[in-house]
């Protein structure tokens, strides 16, 4: 009878396992319950119940058992030795059989029957953790008002699984990745346990990014320093925002991910250091090392240019970390695991081109995140808004011919006289990507410096109309805060308030079902970047942002700003691409 029980349990276990694997989340909970009931019935009736009864009635007192336990083992050993190898394995290891005490069931931790039953029972009563972690955020997302069910591209509660593939979903975001058929996802305890995330604002940060520092150790010579992200991170902590958010695990971008935007040479060159280069192919290594070109900076440190320092120990890790963190945050928001997100990362990325670092940047984190959304999740429409005071030349370059990524940058331009010099309004994209690159290029110096009125006007007249017409699946923001008041003329000189960036964030949240991911780019005035980060995270959390004063809302943008906006509208109006037709109905005001 004992072997029958074990056989039955095994059969059910196998069945359960098969169903679990094949049917995945759909029927799992139902089958799980059914199996549990069946197993309980089989196990309890009739043999085990009887055995347990016997077991209870013949059980000795704990004290007696204590003394008798060693004797049993001794006896068994003797018995096993005496009886030779003819005994079946299960029986041979079974203390009851050996003891000759056939009807008495003593619980013995060495008894394989007991162990097997215990393992199986505990396994059966463990709740299905995999489907829950996959489906819970989805369910939450579905219950959010204003979200289209179809956008998720996953079947609703009662739809067959096959619909996920066949239905023409209104957006491209796929369901959470299901384990691939063919390779069975065995429940291995070694695999990383899926963390269950609250459907809220995601935050990402890693102290390793603080190690990217000039060897001279003089922060005043290097405005893009470790204290930037350190102080933002502390600010979010101090204001109690961090606890309302969900912190996600940080990670470095893989060399392969970096290559979705950068050349192989660039990736090997800046994505590795002396230590991990040892693992790489020797020929390539010789090639890149022979081309190493660093300059000695006036401060005594090493750099690729005076802005962009190189720390042989930490720069590659820090910049890969920044890209990896932004990428993972974006992937989680796209998959519906998080509502939106804010990445407290450095070094920045938007100046980094396919094959060159520039302006503090090595890897273009936002561009890499966008490429990963395309490649890993098939996201079809991505909006990148870049409100860093500098033009994101690297991001523009990466998607210049790509109509599936709309790049909108607001930057100080001054007819090409402000760093990096690119970003003319007439740069509208090329080929199929024509019309999908929008440069709101402020010109006119600091007379007066651009402020809230100008940025609000740009959003009202250009950014939001185009963005709504484009109807992105997700919005990535190159969120530099160097346009915030507090930055010297050389590093911006504008007077946008931190609060205003909270407003701009909230406006972007009206797009893409609220899937907005902000990644820190530039900005070095600590008060400015902390205030602005706080305002943006508050907005992402959906907290009531204190309103901008009426005078600011009523304020007309300055003449230079109006001229700059007219330039954008003209550049895009001439082409009359479908998605910028929105400009014409809005440009009148
Ligand atoms: N050599 C970011 O904000 N400074 N980068 C140029 C002239 C460049 C700013 C000074 C500042 C780069 C991400
Ligand atoms: Zn900047």
The predicted structure's pLDDT at residue 274: 79
Q: Tell me the mean pLDDT in the region 353-367.
A: 98
Q: Is 429 in the pocket of ligand 1 (CB under 6 A)?
A: no
Question: Which residue numbers are catalytic?
Answer: 351
| Closest residue by CA, ligand 1 atom 10 | 419
| Closest residue by CA, ligand 1 atom 11 | 359
372 and 265 in one domain? yes
pTM: 0.69
Q: Is 386 in the pocket of ligand 1 (CB under 6 A)?
A: no
| Substitution site in 222, 309, 491 for ligand 1 pocket (most atoms within 8 Å of beta carbon) | 491
Nearest Cα neighbor of 25 from 154, 191, 193 is 154
Q: Tell me the mean pLDDT in the region 324-346.
A: 98
255 and 119 in one domain? no
Nearest-atom number in ligand 1 for the CA of 305 is 1
In a domain, 460, yes or no: yes
Q: Tell me the mean pLDDT in the region 392-417.
A: 98
Residue 277 is part of which domain span?
201-585
Q: Is 418 in the pocket of ligand 1 (CB under 6 A)?
A: no
pLDDT digits (tens, 9 = 90+) for 406-457: 999 999 999 999 999 999 999 999 999 999 999 999 999 999 999 999 999 9
pLDDT digits (tens, 9 = 90+) for 177-236: 444 333 444 444 445 566 788 999 999 999 999 999 998 989 889 999 999 999 999 999
In a domain, 328, yes or no: yes
Distance 360 CA to ligand 1 centre (A): 7
236 and 114 in one domain? no
Q: Is the distance from CB of 417 to CB of 510 less than 8 angstroms?
A: no
Q: Tell me the mean pLDDT in the region 522-528.
A: 98
206 and 343 in one domain? yes
The predicted structure's pLDDT at residue 273: 85
Q: Tell me the mean pLDDT in the region 66-70.
A: 34
**Sequential DSSP letters for 365-386:** HHHHHHHHHHHHH----EEEEE
| Closest residue by CA, ligand 1 atom 9 | 359
574 and 484 in one domain? yes
Query: The tokens 């010579």 sit on which residue?
Result: 221
Beta bridge partners of 202: 246, 341
> Is the per-residue pLDDT at 129 higher than 60?
no
CATH of the domain at 337: 3.40.800.20
From the CA of 420, the nearest ligand is 1
In a domain, 29, yes or no: yes
Cα dihedral sign, 335-338-342-347? negative
The predicted structure's pLDDT at residue 545: 76
Out of 130, 164, 184, a domain closes at: 130
> Is the per-residue pLDDT at 53 higher than 50?
no
Is the pLDDT higher at 494 or at 145?
Answer: 494
Q: Is 480 in the pocket of ligand 1 (CB under 6 A)?
A: yes
Q: Which runs of consecutive H residues, i.e. helices, occur in 461-581?
A: 464-470, 498-508, 526-540, 550-554, 559-575
Q: Is 359 in the pocket of ligand 1 (CB under 6 A)?
A: yes
CA 378/CA 356 separation, integer angstroms: 27
Q: Is 387 in the pocket of ligand 1 (CB under 6 A)?
A: no
What's the whole-number average pLDDT of the chain? 76
| Substitution site in 362, 419, 479, 529 for ligand 1 pocket (most atoms within 8 Å of beta carbon) | 419
From the CA of 419, the nearest ligand is 1
Distance 220 CA to ligand 2 centre (A): 17
Nearest-atom number in ligand 1 for the CA of 349 is 13
What Rg, from alpha-carbon coordinates, does the chain have? 31
Distance 306 CA to ligand 1 centre (A): 10
Out of 130, 163, 183, a domain closes at: 130
From the CA of 521, the nearest ligand is 1
Distance 418 CA to ligand 1 centre (A): 9
236 and 118 in one domain? no
353 and 231 in one domain? yes
> Is the per-residue pLDDT at 9 higher than 60?
no
In a domain, 499, yes or no: yes
Distance 39 CA to ligand 1 centre (A): 67
259 and 118 in one domain? no
Q: Which runs of consecutive H residues, i.e. helices, occur in 44-149?
A: 49-58, 62-83, 89-93, 95-99, 112-124, 129-142
Q: Is 586 exposed, middle or buried (0-12, 13-18, 19+ CB in 10 A)?
A: middle
Nearest-atom number in ligand 1 for the CA of 351 is 13
| Substitution site in 390, 393, 395 for ligand 1 pocket (most atoms within 8 Å of beta carbon) | 390
| Closest residue by CA, ligand 1 atom 7 | 419
Q: Is the distance from CB of 493 to CB of 487 less than 8 angstroms?
A: yes
| Closest residue by CA, ligand 1 atom 3 | 522
How many helices (H) and strands (E) the chain has is answered by 25, 10
Q: Are strands 246-247 and 201-204 parallel, antiparallel or unpaired?
A: parallel
pLDDT digits (tens, 9 = 90+) for 134-185: 323 322 322 222 222 222 222 222 222 222 232 333 466 654 444 433 344 4
> Is the per-residue pLDDT at 62 higher than 80?
no
Nearest-atom number in ligand 1 for the CA of 348 is 13
Q: Is 307 in the pocket of ligand 1 (CB under 6 A)?
A: yes
Compute φ and ψ for 386, nearest 5 degrees. Answer: -120, 105
Measured CA to CA in angstroms, residue 543 lies from 181, 200, 291, 536 at distances of 43, 12, 51, 10
367 and 250 in one domain? yes
517 and 395 in one domain? yes
**Sequential DSSP letters for 208-245:** GGGG---TT--GGG-SS-THHHHHHHHHHHHTTHHHHS
| Closest residue by CA, ligand 1 atom 12 | 359
In a domain, 489, yes or no: yes
Q: Is the distance from CB of 439 to CB of 445 less than 8 angstroms?
A: no
399 and 275 in one domain? yes
> Is the per-residue pLDDT at 547 higher than 90?
no
Distance 167 CA to ligand 1 centre (A): 47
Instruction: Report the domain count for the chain.
Output: 2
Q: What's the token pair of residue 200?
A: 């809220």
In a domain, 97, yes or no: no
Out of 76, 96, 130, a domain closes at: 130
Nearest-atom number in ligand 1 for the CA of 350 is 13
CA 250/CA 524 separation, integer angstroms: 23
53 CA to centre of own chain: 54
Distance 491 CA to ligand 1 centre (A): 7
- Least confident range of 99-113, 312-326, 396-410, 497-511: 99-113
CA 346/CA 322 separation, integer angstroms: 6
From the CA of 520, the nearest ligand is 1
In a domain, 83, yes or no: no
Q: Is 390 in the pocket of ligand 1 (CB under 6 A)?
A: yes
| Closest residue by CA, ligand 1 atom 5 | 359
195 CA to centre of own chain: 12
| Closest residue by CA, ligand 1 atom 8 | 359
In a domain, 528, yes or no: yes
> Is the per-residue pLDDT at 397 higher than 80?
yes
Q: Is 521 in the pocket of ligand 1 (CB under 6 A)?
A: yes
């Amino acid at each position: 009878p004992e072997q029958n029980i074990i056989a039955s349990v095994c059969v059910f276990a196998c069945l359960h396992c098969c169903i679990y694997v094949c049917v995945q989340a759909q029927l799992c909970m139902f089958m799980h319950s059914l199996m549990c009931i069946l197993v309980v019935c089989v196990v309890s009736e009739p043999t085990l119940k009887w055995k347990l009864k016997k077991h209870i009635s013949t059980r000795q007192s704990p004290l007696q058992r204590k003394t008798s336990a060693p004797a049993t083992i001794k006896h068994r050993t003797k018995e096993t030795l005496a009886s030779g190898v003819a005994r079946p394995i299960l029986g041979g290891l079974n203390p009851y059989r050996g003891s000759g005490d056939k009807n008495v069931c003593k619980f013995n931790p060495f008894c394989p029957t007991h162990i097997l039953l215990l393992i199986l029972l505990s396994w059966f009563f463990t709740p299905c953790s995999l489907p829950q972690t996959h489906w819970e955020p989805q369910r939450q997302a579905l219950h959010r008002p204003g979200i289209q069910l179809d956008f998720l591209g996953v079947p609703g509660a009662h739809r067959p699984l096959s619909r996920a593939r066949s239905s023409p979903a209104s957006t491209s975001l796929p369901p959470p990745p299901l384990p691939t058929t063919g390779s069975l996802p065995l429940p291995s305890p070694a695999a990383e346990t899926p963390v269950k995330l609250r459907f809220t604002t995601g935050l990402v940060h890693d102290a390793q990014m603080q190690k990217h520092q000039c060897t001279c150790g003089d922060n005043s010579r290097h405005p893009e320093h470790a204290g930037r992200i350190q102080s933002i991170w502390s600010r979010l902590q101090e204001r109690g925002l961090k606890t309302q958010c969900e912190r996600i695990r940080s990670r470095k971008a893989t060399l392969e991910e970096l290559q979705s935007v950068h050349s192989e040479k660039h990736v090997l060159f800046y994505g590795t250091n002396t230590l991990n280069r040892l693992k790489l192919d020797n020929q390539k290594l010789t090639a890149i090392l022979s081309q190493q070109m660093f300059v000695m900076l006036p401060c005594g440190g090493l750099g690729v240019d005076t802005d962009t320092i190189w720390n042989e120990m930490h720069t590659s890790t820090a910049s890969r970390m920044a890209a990896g963190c932004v990428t993972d945050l974006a992937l989680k928001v796209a998959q519906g695991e998080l509502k939106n997100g804010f990445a407290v990362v450095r070094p920045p990325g938007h100046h980094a081109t396919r094959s060159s670092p520039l302006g503090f940047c090595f890897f273009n984190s936002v561009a890499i995140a966008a490429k990963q959304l395309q490649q890993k999740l098939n996201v079809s429409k991505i909006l990148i808004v870049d409100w860093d005071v500098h033009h994101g030349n690297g991001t523009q370059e990466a998607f210049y011919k790509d109509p599936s990524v709309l790049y909108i940058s607001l930057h100080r331009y001054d007819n090409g006289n402000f760093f990096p010099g690119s970003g003319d309004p007439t740069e509208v994209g090329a080929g199929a990507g024509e019309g999908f690159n929008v440069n709101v290029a402020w010109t006119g110096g600091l007379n007066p410096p651009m402020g809230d009125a100008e940025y609000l006007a740009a959003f009202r007249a250009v950014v939001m109309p185009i963005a709504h017409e484009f109807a992105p699946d997700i919005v990535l923001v190159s969120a530099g805060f160097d346009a915030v008041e507090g930055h010297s003329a050389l590093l911006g000189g504008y007077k946008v308030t931190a609060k205003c960036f909270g407003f701009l964030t909230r406006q972007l949240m009206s797009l893409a079902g609220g899937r907005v991911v902000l990644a820190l780019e530039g900005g070095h005035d600590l008060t400015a970047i902390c205030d602005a980060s706080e305002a943006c995270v508050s907005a992402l959390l959906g907290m009531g942002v204190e309103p901008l004063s009426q005078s600011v809302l009523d304020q007309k943008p300055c003449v230079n700003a109006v001229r700059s906006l007219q330039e954008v509208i003209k550049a895009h109006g001439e082409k009359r691409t479908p998605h910028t037709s929105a400009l014409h109905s809005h440009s009148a005001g």
